[in-house]
Structure 1
Amino acid sequence: MKIPFNKPYFTGKETTYIKDAVERGMISGNGYYTKRCQTFFENNFGFKKALLTTSCTDALEMCAILANISPGDEVIVPSYTFVSSALAFVRQGAKIVFADSKADNPNIDETKLEGLINDKTKAIVVVHYAGVSCKMNTIMAIANTYNLLVIEDAAQAIGSKFNGKYLGSIGHMATFSFHETKNIISGEGGLLAINDDRFVNRAEIIWEKGTNRAEFFRGEVNKYGWVDTGSSFLPSEIIAAFLWAQIENIDTIQKRRLELWHFYNDSLGDWAKKHEIQLMPEPKRETNNAHMFYLVCKTIEQRDAIIQHLKTKDILSVFHYLSLHSSEFYKDKHDGRTLPNSDKFSERLLRLPMFYELDIAKVVEHLISY
């Protein structure tokens, strides 16, 4: 039996809640299940305002609009990330200044940030890779010194913490993904979290196509109209209903993923040393939401060989991001700096299968036989 890299987990209640949403007679958006999901995140994760979106990319685009990014502005973004982390700001006309990863993990190197800041810098985007926090105390201090916005791309980081605070509640704004590869899912889907009062009201207007429609339905204005820029960022009630079933089971899902993470970590230590492979570091000050388990191979050839070895055993393992600073789209716009750590992870990082119903013993058995 083949073992895929990812398999969506269904709690059993998804179709029940979708049927309920249909029977309630409103499936467009910002209805019963949307409000239920948003209230959960506000009450349990410490966000001042939570808005469901159709994707994490949409949530990032809302951040770029809220930050008033315009041509001539610069935004600092890690090179080792998904294209959306940068693209949302490029669409607003920003120049992207790519930052390198740390030597021991793919997160942004906070010690190099100040050297990238100038009077055109408007925001810093941090990506909590594998659900493990960037050094948010240092990053927020730098942002405060230079009056910059911090946007947390927490696509992979649902439920993770830094110094006791949930990721996504520390920066001025944050985004999450509920894509089917994430810990809790809705197929596609995302969340915008707002933590700065300045952006709360405008976020809702941008979310509702540039109108004050949400205020109208709450009875706060007697009519609604076009008052700002925006787009149709809110998801349907079908997506929200699916997500609610996942939210109800978030503790069970996280517990299972942590069991899998620790099985990998406990089983692969000797094998990794033998082959000079680095295992994903176990978070210390930060918490671990077990979004993924990765290896950093000695060489790109070793990584390719392990992928091929597992493939012969019907197990799919995959590498991850290619450095954005050398991408076809942006390489000619990059300032020419080398980003060796980002390139190292692009060439040598390998992700192992991670999903709720994984036969992890089989994966480990065949990995050790390499």
Structure 2
Amino acid sequence: MMLDRPVGQEPIRFHAPHMPPSTYDAVASALGSKHLRAGGRFSRKARALVGAHVGHDRVFLTNSCTSALEVAALALDLGPEDEIIVPSFTFCATATAFARKGARIVLADIDPNTMMVSAETIAARITNRTRAVVVVHYGGAAARMDGITALCAHHGIAVVEDAAQAFGSKQTGRAVGTAGLFAAYSFHETKIISSGHGGALVVNSDKPVLRERVEELLARGTNYPAFARREVSHYEWTSVSSSFEMPDLNAALLYGQLKHTREILFKSRAIWAFYEKRLNRLPVTILRPDEATQTNGYSFAFLCADRSCARRILEKSEQLGLGLQSHYKPLHLSRFAGQILAGHCPAASDSWERLIRLPVHMDLCAEDAGRICDFLTSELG
């Protein structure tokens, strides 16, 4: 039966970027400065705020989270003989950033209760060619990093955190994105803090050589940073790289939102808690953060009992304009899977089509959140 949205009710958007007044002020100031490229005043200000969140200043703004991961891959100096373990359930950019270096991508299965890798699923994929493990923190929650970092340290394997969805989240009191050697945040329009399109690379090592390597890569593969500090008399080409930095205009947009991080996190977490309270008795598996993690509230998601139930809920939601969404297909089921070491990922295969995500954003009002919960209660209760 075809359902119609009630007359006068606007469709609920799954996501809407937040634009506080300070955002407009910062962008106008950046335009007035006529310094729109990377490295300007707002780049420094935004970097300082991200640095305050992670607890150190080894933060570099990039034009995307994908670029941040690519810089990490370049800094690790990966090659065709190296294997990189990546979760099968993730956006393709997680793997692409390392595949572009020629590394062999090995896909790991997930824990369906979290949709994230664990120490156990990673251990099943480690070989003597494994150089790095990429951990994706899904939905604003976090993978259990203590077991993963201990496992990787034992094998001498680097850990890279894809924390695209996790800016503002904490685990054991620390910012998510501070446990691995590298971490990447996303500030894409769809994320909780946005610069329209952007990201950040976090280097969680105080070794000067690693910081200098990242600086050269961000300078398009030159030693220009050393030249700017008057450490050399000229600058020159030092390695293969690309244009990865965030322009100052985007940094101004980012800075305007970072100043409101506290209120954005407060509302996102409040929406998450509202959903959890209203829906916790339904016969679904809610993706909850573990007891050590404080989520940023970026995503509220659950698994239906089966695929047909999820399809029914999504179809009816679309007809009613309620904004519910599924998510990406696991990489081992993609058309490109034949080009990588896909392996067998039964948990990801079983769970991805049962996944449903609810809208969480600053423009979502209590009435709309209530409509969503009433719909789900009537369909699943």
Compute the TM-score of the two structures, normalised by the length of structure 2: 0.92
Aligned partner of 2:312 in structure 1 is 305
Counterpart code for 2:244: F
Q: Does 1:159 pair with 2:172?
A: no
Check whether the contact 1:54–1:233 (CA below 8 A) recurs between aligned residues: yes
- 1:314 corresponds in structure 2 to 321
* 2:103 matches 1:94: yes
Q: Which residue number corresponds to residue 324 of structure 1?
A: 331
1:22 to 28, 31, 37: 31
Q: Which amino acid aligns with 1:82?
A: F
Q: Does 1:367 align with 2:346?
A: no
Given that 2:114 and 2:289 are in contact with CA atoms closer than 8 Å, whether structure 1 keeps it comes out as: no
CA displacement at 1:283 relative to structure 2: 3.0
8 Å contact from structure 1 (residues 47, 194) kept in 2? no
Q: Which shows bigger deviation, 55-64 or 44-53?
A: 44-53
Check the 8 A contact 2:142/2:289 in 1, yes or no: no
Q: Which residue of 1 aligns with 2:67?
A: 58
- Residue 290 of structure 2 aligns to which amino acid in structure 1? P
Q: Match of 2:274?
A: 263
- Residues 269-288 of structure 1: per-residue CA shift (max 9 Å, x gap): 23x1xxx3112224311111
Asked whether the equivalents of residues 99 and 109 of structure 1 are also in contact (C-alpha less than 8 Å), the reply is no
* CA deviation after TM superposition for structure 1 residue 338, in Å: 2.1
Aligned to 1:241: 252
1:14-62 CA-partner distances (Å, limit 9, x unpaired): 2211111122231111111111111222233124511110100011111
- Where do residues 97-246 of structure 1 align in structure 2 (5 Å cutoff)? 97-196=106-205, 197=207, 198-246=209-257
Shift of 1:267: 0.5
The worse-fitting range, judged by mean Cα deviation, of 50-59 and 38-47 is 38-47
Partner Cα separation in structure 1 for residue 111 and residue 270 of structure 2: 27
One-letter code aligned to 2:299: M
Shift of 1:214: 2.6
Instruction: State how far apart, in whole Å, the 1-side matches of 2:259 and 2:353 are.
Output: 38
Q: Secondary structure at the match of 1:40?
A: helix
Instruction: Note if contact 2:110-2:121 (Cα within 8 Å) is conserved in structure 1.
Output: no
Instruction: Name the Cα RMSD after superposition.
Output: 1.4
1:202 is paired with a residue whose SS is helix
Equivalent AA in structure 2 for residue 20 of structure 1: S
Q: Residue 176 of structure 1 aligns to a residue in which SS?
A: strand
Alignment of 1:278-297 (within 5 A): 278-297=285-304
Check conservation: 2:135, 2:160, Cα contact below 8 A: yes
SS at match of 2:78: coil
Does 1:32 find its partner at 2:41? yes
> Secondary structure at the residue paired with 1:111?
helix
Corresponding residue number in structure 2 for 1:343: 349
The DSSP-based 3-state class of the residue aligned with 2:302 is: strand
Shift of 1:332: 5.1
Q: Aligned to 2:133, what secondary structure does the other structure show?
A: strand
CA contact (8 A) 1:128 1:154 kept: yes
**Is the CA contact (8 Å cut-off) linking 2:87 and 2:135 kept in structure 1?**
yes
Of stretches 325-334 and 14-23 in structure 1, the one that deviates more from structure 2 is 325-334
Structure 2 gaps, min length 5: 1-9
How many residue pairs are counted as aligned between the two chains? Answer: 365
Matches of 1:182 and 1:309 in 2, distance apart? Answer: 26
* Residue 352 (1) aligns with residue 347 (2): no
Seq. identity, % = 32
**TM superposition score normalised by structure 1:** 0.95
